[in-house]
Structures are given as structure tokens and as C-alpha cells.
Amino acid sequence: MPSVISTDVLIVGAGVAGLWLNARLRRQGFSTVLVESATLGGGQSLKSQGIIHGGAKYALHGALTGASEAIADMPRRWREALAGTGELDLSGVRLLSEAHYLWSPGTLAGNLTSFFASKAVRGRVDQVKGEQLPPALQDKRFKGKVYRLAELVIDVPSLIQRLAELAGEGLLAGHEIQPLLEGGLLVGLKVDGRDIRAQRIVLSAGAGTAALLEALGLTQPAMQRRPLHMIMAKGPGLKPLYAHCLGGGTKPRITVTTHPAADGQWVWYLGGDIAESEGVAREPAEQIATAQKELGQLLPWIDLSTAQWATLRVDRAEPLQSGLTRPDNAFLAEQGRLLVGWPTKLALAPDFADRVIAALQRDGIQPSHSAELPELPKPPMGIPAWEQLLP
């Protein structure tokens, strides 16, 4: 029979939200156990593009106002963490790009007028030309305007690795989760038959949260999944590019990020409008052909003739939103000892942790358990999608 564990905060789901929260709590002296049923970061986090948004993308459709500062502050908070001087020491995490770019092919799209009028981007956008252009755009045939956004792009695999180190002995591979009740109240969880008591229980299980709530006999908070059909290309002719390419609409036509593969080549990872509804409806071969055509038109000087291609279907898991909900904050709901939420963006993991920590402070929850834990089975690291699909 596995031993009973008592901890301050029991977290379920080791994506960026659970891992970041776990590291913050441990730094403040709380004991924690972080349960993961699959792999560390292997849900949405390792499939993300790693852009630390400051909100510029939302300003394109006017959804970001000067009042929504949580996301605007994220690049600074991540930068400090990456420098080892912030709320977490992420000094070993690889920064892929100091900036993300906004690139308008041909003539300036009309929607940029409201974009540049937005308070959220004022002072955070500079036009770049010539040698300052991202390497993949430095060609005499390139036409269009490029703006440098004060947003970073990080290497998510190295982030997950570092957050796993900061989790110390607190990680637990666990599959079957049931409520641990006392007098009808939730006091912890039963994980694979082991009782884990905790002052607070946090569910940060991404797309798995709805099923976990069901196992606890709860239906709220409701969640939604928004599907994406992403495209990847790996090849020797690719140069780094981190940019939103604008189309006529309010969403980027394509968002390109570039990731290092284990064999030393670069992988272009394409999201944005191309991966949304019409892209989701396309079969993989059709989706790849669409991407090839788009890149052929936009960047004809890039040699893609020997590139390998793949697509990836993945859902974004979020709280159920009405049209009015702002996309620029993490979400947290509370029911007694249970806290449930989604960061809604990788970039907003610090905001998610802030919300949990504020709830603990408000309720006077203090570190009270020794950090000593029995030897626990550990979840494995997740593998980046491009290593699985383009080995």
C-alpha cells in the first residue's frame, strides 16, 4: 500500500502552468506535489510556438486596451526570469529570438492604422530595414514593411527541462485520480490508490481538466477546445524567422517561428490563420500544399525543394468564453480547497501563478508541511513535436 502524503499544494497537470506555479510555490517555501499522467510539457506547451506575447497580436483586432496590462507585462517578467533575476531562475533556458516581428507584405494593410493607435503597442514597435531585417527576409526581392515587436521567443523544450529541475522531488507520475473526501469535503486526491492530502488542490491539466472535474463530480468551470492544424517544414535552406505575416484580416495570415532540431537543422513551425478553421478542415496533404503555395508567394527566394513536411493537429484548451471575455489574462476559478484554471497562453503562466498565490494569501495559507517526500515514480520529459514528426 503506498504511503499517505501530506503537502501544502497538490497540483495536477505538468504543462507550463502547473510547472511554473510549482516552481514559484517551492521558492516561497511551500511543499508541493505535481502530478502528471503523460509527459512533462507534452500537452499544448511543447506544441506551442514559444512566443512571449506582449499583446500586439490582440491589438490587431482592437481587443487589447490600455487597461489590460497583464499580458503587456509578460515580456519583462520572462526577460528577468531568463536573466536569473526574476521570480524564477530560468538562466539556462534558451532564448530563440530577442524579438518577434510583424511583417506586412506589399502595401501596408489598412488594419494597421488601429494597431498603431492602440495604447498596447505604443512605444513597443520599431520599423526595421536592410540588415536589421530577420535573416529569412534579407533578399533584394523582399517587398513590404517589417516592425520589431518587444516580444521574445523562447525554446520551450529547454524551459520545460528547467522547470522540471526546479520541481525537485515533487513530481509524481499518476494516472487514476479520485477525490479524497472527509465529511463530504474535498481534502485531497487519491492518485493511483495513494492518499495525498493538501491545503489546496490546483487543477492545471489543460485539455484534461474537464475529465478531471467529472471524476470529482463537478461540471464547472466549463472549458472549450479550439482546434489548430499546424504545419512544419525542416530543411537545410531554412533560416531563422519569427514573424506574424499580415493578411487583409484581423488575424495574422501566417505566424512563423523557427526551432532547432536535434540534427542541427531548423524547423519552421507555421500557425496563424492558415492553421485555424479552414486549415482545420483540410486534410494534411492539402494543408501542406496550401503552406507551400503561401511560402512560395511570400518568400520565393527560400529554397524549400528539399524540405520535409508534416502537420500537427492540436487543440487549445481554455475556459468557455463569451464573446466579451478578454483573451489577455489567465483564468482561475475557486471552489473551497479546489482551484481550477488555464493560463490561456504560455506567456501568461506567470499570471496564472499570481492568481493562485493571491488566493493562498487571501486565505492565510502558509507553508506548513515538511518538504520530505517518499520516493515517487517520475513522469518522463515530453518530446518536441518536430522530433516526433520529422525525425
Q: Which is nearer to ligand FAD, 188 or 206 (CB)?
A: 206
CB 134 within 8 A of CB 152: no
Return the half-sphere exposure (C-beta side, CA atoms, 13 A cut-off) of residue 295: 26
Q: How far is the CB of 92 from ligand FAD (least distance, A)?
A: 20
Q: Which is nearer to ligand FAD, 134 or 208 (CB)?
A: 208
Q: Which is nearer to ligand FAD, 130 or 217 (CB)?
A: 217
CB 43 within 8 A of CB 316: no
Q: Which is nearer to ligand FAD, 29 or 42 (CB)?
A: 42
Q: How far is the CB of 19 from ligand FAD (least distance, A)?
A: 7
Q: Which is nearer to ligand FAD, 237 or 335 (CB)?
A: 335
The distance in angstroms from the start CA to the end CA of the chain is 41
Q: How far is the CB of 56 from ligand FAD (least distance, A)?
A: 12
DSSP β-ladder status, 100-105 and 144-149: antiparallel
Q: Which is nearer to ligand FAD, 80 or 315 (CB)?
A: 315
DSSP β-ladder status, 308-319 and 331-335: unpaired
The C-alpha cell of 48 is what?
Answer: 506551442
Q: Could you write out the DSSP letters of every residue in 47-94? A: GS--EE--SHHHHTTT---TT-HHHHTHHHHHHHHHTT-SSS--TTSP
Q: Which is nearer to ligand FAD, 38 or 95 (CB)?
A: 38
Interface residues with ligand FAD (CB under 6 A) are 12-18, 35-38, 42-45, 47-51, 53, 177, 204-208, 212, 228, 230, 271, 314, 316, 342-347
Q: Which is nearer to ligand FAD, 163 or 299 (CB)?
A: 163
Q: How many CB atoms lie under 10 A from the CB of residue 232?
A: 22
CB 151 within 8 A of CB 51: yes
- What is the distance between the alpha carbons of residues 249 and 126, in angstroms, rounded to a whole number? 22
- What is the distance between the alpha carbons of residues 325 and 294, in angstroms, rounded to a whole number? 32
Q: How far is the CB of 192 from ligand FAD (least distance, A)?
A: 10
The C-alpha cell of 85 is what?
Answer: 533575476
Collapsed DSSP state (helix, strand, coil) of residue 162 = helix
Q: How far is the CB of 276 from ligand FAD (least distance, A)?
A: 11
Q: How far is the CB of 16 from ligand FAD (least distance, A)?
A: 5
Which residues neighbour 18 within 8 Å (Cβ) at sequence distance 6 or greater? Answer: 11, 12, 34, 36, 202, 204, 205
Torsion sign (Cα): 173, 177, 181, 184: positive
Q: How far is the CB of 96 from ligand FAD (least distance, A)?
A: 11
Q: Which residue has the cell 522531488?
A: 169
Q: How far is the CB of 313 from ligand FAD (least distance, A)?
A: 9
Q: Which is nearer to ligand FAD, 105 or 206 (CB)?
A: 206
Return the half-sphere exposure (C-beta side, CA atoms, 13 A cut-off) of residue 100: 22
Q: How far is the CB of 316 from ligand FAD (least distance, A)?
A: 5
